[in-house]
């Protein structure tokens, strides 16, 4: 036991500038608890009084949230387990504005109630002139749920080859039937014809749904019916395009996009905001005015309402500079190679066993499963995988051929230095 008079007083400690700063971020209670623990250690002789402040700082959590920043070096551009699309700087700034009190549902010119998310909707309509109107909900699944609930008790015609499991055990057909529509499946797993749809459409049919099988490819003896042909049917055709591409993308010729789908005659397109669009989690509904308006005013619309943060980030994504996902897709392989060479040079200079590796990266996010993106990685001993994953920030790569590969396709160029520093700190070099 040490002399109790040697234990620093709580009020003195809490007035220390470093702990005041920590309390302003983490909250006073958290700091106080850490102070008490350190004082107890002084009392029992395990800590010198002058070491209390550094010990408290060391014991404090780094953040108020359990989420940790992860550098995505997996080579998967849209990684669902890493939160899908990282937001652009413009979208992050928009989050800061939206976090306060804003005119999200107020027309400041008149002082009257305004349409929620008008900015995001205007931005969507500017990006997709083929859409007469647009609405934003919580996510892609919510867009389908709203559509289905608004047609509960009626029939939705869908091809057997398009009854997709999205991921984590969630299946679109089960979502639709849980919302009260009856599914009328047509065709077989590999083939469906226009006549199959035409035979199935009847007085109970609310719509034909064309789901993009975004996370798998069926090849061989296959056929599906293009939207333009489905549009000849006497019921509205809805296209769930999934990825959120608003226009055709040159690298992703098999990914459907909103503009082409609407021009081909779709009455409505549904999509996610946080896949290839590169924005926040959101469900987009674009298409014919009366259909969009009916869905917007449906009682269930309130239950899948988009949050003000997502609406602001979506608008900024659409109006602002190219978001990270689109930037990653547009990066030339030679640029990735040059960056890998620079990182490897720095690591080798410090004695790390690092090599430049040519790789094939993936789009991810349940999109373009048949597309590989030529990329480059930093190859490292596999033993570094676990320590890098546990670091601050965490760095997540992938194992291939007995080496840990840190693929640069989804790493922002401005994060290369941080990546190299993280490797140096765990390599003991
Ligand atoms: C991803 C996807 C969905 C689900 O969208 P979420 O935004 O994840 O809810 C639905 N349909 C298709 C075709 C998809 O690719």
Residues 17-39 pLDDT 10s: 999 999 999 999 999 999 999 99
Helix (H, G, I), strand (E, B) or coil at 269: strand
Residue having the nearest C-alpha atom to atom 14 of ligand 1: 242
Is residue 313, in this structure, part of any structural domain at all? Answer: yes
Are residues 302 and 204 located together in one domain of the fold?
A: yes
Q: The domain containing residue 48 runs over which residues?
A: 4-59
* Sheet architecture: strand order including 355-364: 76-78, 355-364, 367-381, 403-407, 398-400
The yes-or-no verdict on residue 313 having pLDDT over 90 is yes
Are residues 262 and 213 located together in one domain of the fold?
A: yes
Note the pLDDT of residue 149: 98
What pTM value is reported for the model? 0.92
The yes-or-no verdict on residue 2 having pLDDT over 80 is no
* Percentage, residues of the chain above pLDDT 70: 99
Q: For the chain, give the mean pLDDT.
A: 95
The yes-or-no verdict on residue 366 having pLDDT over 70 is no
Note the pLDDT of residue 189: 87
Kindly state the helix (H) or strand (E) to which residue 71 belongs, with its residue range.
strand 70-72
Residue having the nearest C-alpha atom to atom 8 of ligand 1: 140
Are residues 98 and 187 located together in one domain of the fold?
A: yes
The residue among 296, 321, 346 that closes a domain is: 321
Structure-model confidence comparison of residues 170 and 131, the more confident one: 131
Are residues 113 and 257 located together in one domain of the fold?
A: yes
Note the pLDDT of residue 294: 98
First to last CA, the chain: 41
The yes-or-no verdict on residue 321 having pLDDT over 90 is yes
Report the atom number in ligand 1 closest to the C-alpha of 164: 13
Per-residue pLDDT tens for 227-238? 999 999 999 999
How much is the average pLDDT of 340-344?
A: 98
How much is the average pLDDT of 89-106?
A: 96
Alpha-carbon dihedral sign for residues 246, 247, 253, 256: positive
DSSP β-bridge partners for residue 269: 239, 286
Residue having the nearest C-alpha atom to atom 13 of ligand 1: 242
Is residue 65, in this structure, part of any structural domain at all? Answer: no
Residue having the nearest C-alpha atom to atom 5 of ligand 1: 140
Are residues 168 and 317 located together in one domain of the fold?
A: yes
Q: How many domains does the chain have?
A: 3
Is residue 183, in this structure, part of any structural domain at all? Answer: yes
The residue among 279, 301, 321 that closes a domain is: 321
Residue 138 Cβ contacting ligand 1 at under 6 Å? no
Residue 366 Cβ contacting ligand 1 at under 6 Å? yes
Note the pLDDT of residue 317: 98
Is residue 75, in this structure, part of any structural domain at all? Answer: yes
């Amino acid at each position: 036991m040490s002399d109790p008079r040697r234990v620093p007083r709580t009020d003195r400690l809490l007035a220390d500038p470093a702990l005041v700063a920590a309390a302003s971020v983490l909250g006073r209670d958290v700091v106080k608890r850490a102070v008490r623990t350190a004082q107890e250690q002084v009392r029992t002789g395990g800590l010198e009084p002058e070491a209390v402040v550094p010990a408290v700082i060391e014991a404090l959590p780094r953040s108020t949230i359990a989420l940790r920043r992860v550098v995505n070096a997996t080579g998967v551009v849209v990684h669902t387990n890493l939160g899908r699309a990282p937001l652009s700087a413009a979208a992050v700034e928009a989050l800061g504005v939206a976090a306060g009190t804003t005119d999200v549902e107020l027309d400041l010119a008149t002082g009257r109630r305004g349409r929620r998310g008008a900015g995001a909707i205007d931005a969507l309509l500017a990006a997709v002139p083929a859409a007469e109107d647009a609405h934003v909900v919580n996510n892609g699944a919510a867009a389908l749920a709203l559509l289905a609930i608004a047609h509960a008790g009626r029939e939705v015609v869908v091809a057997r080859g398009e009854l997709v499991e999205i991921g984590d055990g969630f299946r679109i057909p089960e979502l639709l039937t849980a919302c009260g529509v009856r599914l009328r499946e047509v065709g077989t797993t590999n083939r469906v014809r226009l006549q199959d749809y035409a035979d199935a459409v009847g007085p109970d049919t609310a719509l034909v749904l064309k789901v993009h099988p975004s996370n798998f490819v069926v090849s061989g003896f296959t056929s599906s019916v293009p939207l333009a042909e489905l549009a000849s049917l006497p019921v509205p055709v809805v296209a769930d395009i999934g990825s959120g591409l608003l226009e055709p993308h040159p690298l992703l010729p098999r990914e459907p996009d909103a503009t082409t789908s609407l021009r081909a005659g779709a009455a409505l397109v549904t999509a996610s905001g946080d896949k290839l669009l590169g924005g926040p989690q959101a469900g987009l509904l674009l298409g014919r005015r009366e259909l969009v308006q009916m869905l917007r005013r449906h009682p269930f619309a309130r239950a899948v309402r988009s949050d003000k943060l997502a609406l602001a980030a979506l608008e900024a994504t659409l109006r602002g500079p190219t978001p990270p996902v689109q930037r990653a897709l547009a990066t030339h392989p030679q640029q990735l190679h040059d960056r890998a060479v620079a990182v490897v040079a720095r690591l080798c200079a410090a004695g790390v066993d690092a090599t430049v590796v040519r790789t094939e990266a993936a789009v991810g996010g349940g999109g373009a499963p048949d597309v590989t993106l030529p990329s480059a990685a930093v190859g490292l001993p596999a033993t570094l995988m676990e320590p890098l994953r546990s670091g601050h920030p965490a760095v997540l790569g992938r194992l291939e051929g007995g080496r840990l590969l840190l693929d640069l396709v989804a790493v922002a160029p401005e994060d290369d230095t941080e990546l190299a520093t993280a490797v140096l700190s765990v390599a003991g070099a």
